[in-house]
Structure 1
């Protein structure tokens, strides 16, 4: 017997706005939406595909009344695929992300950021082919 990692659920104040932010960050699309929840993903999951093998999980944003109050115990790492890390950081700042300090110190190879509701995530190494990076916006 086994299970599959199928959704990453994020409690938030505004599911539609946060889902729209993450769709722009990850090039995901909205798979399902209601007033209190939005599911986004890079593919349309089916039970058959999930049973066949581990696939990328979807992200689910669920409305909750309380706001985030402490550092995340779990966070996402994102890797730019067609640009350098600093250019991606600049793009994400333009989408509404912010740089944050969670005690990471000055010597690091990643940038700690927060989405519009304060959920921390890291921009890590670029996966762009050498010489194929787009300039910063």
Structure 2
């Protein structure tokens, strides 16, 4: 018996804003809204599909009252499908991301933050 990773939950102040940002980053769509909670995904999952095979997880944005106080213990990594890593960084900056001050010297990735200061990395391009 095993489990399946079906969703990644992001605590935030403004679920609609963060869901819109990540939908634009990933090319995903809103697949569910429940009160103040917003779920996005690349597909609309069913329990039967998850039971049959490992499928990509969805992202769920849940409102919480407290703010972020430390570096994320878990973060997302994205890779541009077309263009260079720097092209993707430029696109993400236009969507509301920021470059993090915590860069690794000589790294092949760029550390960024989303509109609520959650860290994520832009890795090398998949356009090869």
Query: What band does the TM-score fall into relative to the shorter chain?
Result: over 0.9
* Displacement of 1:34: 3.4
Separation of aligned partners in 2, 1:17 and 1:34: 15
In the alignment, the residues of structure 2 paired with residue 34 and residue 17 of structure 1 have an alpha-carbon distance, to the nearest angstrom, of 15
Moved over 6 A (4+): none
* CA deviation profile, 1:46-71 (whole Å, cap 9, x unmatched): 11110011000000000000111110
Question: Within 5 A, what are the aligned runs for 1:1-137?
Answer: 1-102=1-102, 104-129=103-128
Q: How far apart are 1:82 and its partner, in Å?
A: 1.1
TM-score (structure 1 length as normaliser)? 0.90
Which SS does the other structure have where 2:11 is aligned? strand
Give a deviation string over 1:52-107, Cα, whole Å, max 9, x none. 110000000000001111100000110000111000000000000000023x4321
Once residues 3 and 107 of structure 1 are traced to their aligned partners in structure 2, the CA distance between those partners, rounded to angstroms, is: 37
Q: Which runs of 5 or more residues in structure 2 are unaligned?
A: none
**TM-score normalized with structure 2 length:** 0.97
- Count of matched residue positions in the alignment of Structure 1 and Structure 2: 128
* TM superposition shift of 1:128: 1.0
- Secondary structure at 1:33 match in 2: strand
